[in-house]
Amino acid sequence: MIDPLEPVDVRMRGFARRTTVEDALRWLDGKTERLDEQIVPLAEAAGRVLAREMVSRVDVPPFDRSMMDGFAVCAADTLGASPYNRLVLQVVGESLPGRPFYGRVCSGQAVRITTGSLLPVGADAVLPVELVEIAVGDASHSRMFTQGEVSPGRHVGRIGEDVEAGTTVLPADRVLRPQDVGLLASIGVTDVPLVRRPLVRVVVTGNELLPAGSPPRPYRIADSNGPMLSALVKRDCGVIVEVDIVPDEPGTMLEAMRSEADLVLVSGGSSVGQEDHAPAVLVEHGELPIHGIAMRPSSPTGIGRLDGRLVFLLPGNPVSCLCAYDFFAGRAIRALGGRSKDWPYRRTTLPLARKIVSAVGRLDYMRVRLVEGLVEPLAIAGASILSSTTRADGFVLVPANSEGYPPGAEVEVYLYDIIS
Ligand code: AMP
Ligand code: MG
């Protein structure tokens, strides 16, 4: 039996067999364990992934506090009070934020209090200011009347009601939201254990390539994969360590692939042409268990390792490059960074305007537009037509076991635009 993952040199011979997308993902998922943790200042933690669960050592709030502006009282003193039966209390002091009342509130007494201030000892409720009348003509303001009742505990925020000491406030693997950062600050955290972000090296190959942004010249084109891959890596929260264009020469390519990064992306030269050196370099110096995948575009994709690091050989055709990144490299970057392996794309299900035809035995990635609630496949499907992906709203996948879909079939569309 042929091992689908056994490497072979396929230059100028074509792929004798192709790995299925499922097998490739299975192999990859076994090699993308979450990276180790690093300690990062809280101010830089939002949007990053928590490496460990966070347990609070403290109660928040650390004291019983008033939830209203009013008077701290003994609730029993207000029993039976109403606008027709006002009860008098002696005001013996005030409790302000950061400036508490240190005395004790006894029966018949009240302490003026504001929201967030410490509830004095002896008091068990707060009488809101709306229920209170200050005695007119009492120059010392030392008497007040209540015209309503409060029950024990009323308008009092209890110690630990927000966070109790010893409880888990956030689980491991959490992508930190701004409010999570606020909560961590409230329990006294200044530095956070986060999953390290994967470092990514991008090697763009092709003797015909000019640096990104150069005007194209006869027989030379500008590199579009470098900038596109950099943006994709950023989207998936990886950190680009270096992007450069290297000539189609095995020695230079090997040198470029040997990097301190966690993962290497090679654009171009991944197929079976005579200038496609990347697969041979990997076979010779590392391993290339996956080369040639049953999909379109991106069939000449390779996934291997060099010095223990994952290396992705992405086809140079820009659409194939985008698709292969999204299927394999992006997933690996997200997994290494402790994030969901799933695509960040939103999905919608709508009927097809026209049929989609696909060959059995390979997965198809079809660019589509949404027109008046229908899914319109784009006529130009060539992998070299990058503008097809900018004109498209998203893509539809046709699985390997399907011949396609008839007009009117409900299909799932992955939308390129990401809500961020
Ligand atoms: P390759 O995979 O190197 O055989 O390249 C396939 C096609 O993609 C060729 O037409 C290349 O010129 C083109 N191509 C390769 N790399 C890039 C790139 N970085 N940007 C734009 N086009 C590229
Ligand atoms: Mg090339």
The DSSP code sequence of 11-61 is TTT--SS-B-HHHHHHHHHTT-PPP-EEEEEGGG-TTSBBSS-EE-SS-BS
250: three-class secondary structure by DSSP: helix
Strand 87-95, strand 109-113: pairing: parallel
CA–CA separation, 112 vs 123, rounded Å? 11
CA–CA separation, 83 vs 340, rounded Å? 60
- Tell me the CA–centroid distance for residue 103 and ligand 1, in Å: 79
- Tell me the CA–centroid distance for residue 268 and ligand 2, in Å: 5
- pLDDT score at 1: 36
Q: Encoding tokens for residue 190?
A: 């200044």
- pLDDT score at 361: 95
- pLDDT score at 216: 86
- Candidates 202, 209, 266, 299: which one to mutate for ligand 1, based on the most atoms within 8 Å of Cβ? 209
- pLDDT score at 134: 85
- For the Cβ of 208 lying below 6 angstroms from any atom of ligand 1, the answer is yes
- For the Cβ of 206 lying below 6 angstroms from any atom of ligand 1, the answer is yes
77: three-class secondary structure by DSSP: helix
Strand order in the sheet with 125-128: 125-128, 70-73, 109-113, 87-95, 143-146, 132-134
Domains parsed from the chain with CATH numbers? 21-35+196-336 (3.40.980.10), 38-60+161-195 (3.90.105.10), 65-157 (2.170.190.11), 346-415 (2.40.340.10)
- pLDDT score at 393: 97
- For the Cβ of 317 lying below 6 angstroms from any atom of ligand 1, the answer is yes
- pLDDT score at 382: 81
- Tell me the CA–centroid distance for residue 270 and ligand 2, in Å: 8
CB burial of residue 38 (10 Å; 0-12, 13-18, 19+): middle
- For the Cβ of 221 lying below 6 angstroms from any atom of ligand 1, the answer is yes
Q: What is the mean pLDDT of each run of 10 residues along the chain (420 residues)?
A: 52 82 98 98 98 98 97 98 96 96 97 97 97 77 92 98 98 98 98 98 97 92 97 98 96 96 98 93 97 97 98 97 98 98 97 96 96 92 86 97 97 91
CA–CA separation, 13 vs 310, rounded Å? 25
Sign (positive/negative) of CA torsion 43, 48, 54, 56?
Answer: positive
- For the Cβ of 238 lying below 6 angstroms from any atom of ligand 1, the answer is no
Q: Are 214 and 222 in contact (CB under 8 A)?
A: yes
- pLDDT score at 278: 97
Q: Are 292 and 304 in contact (CB under 8 A)?
A: no
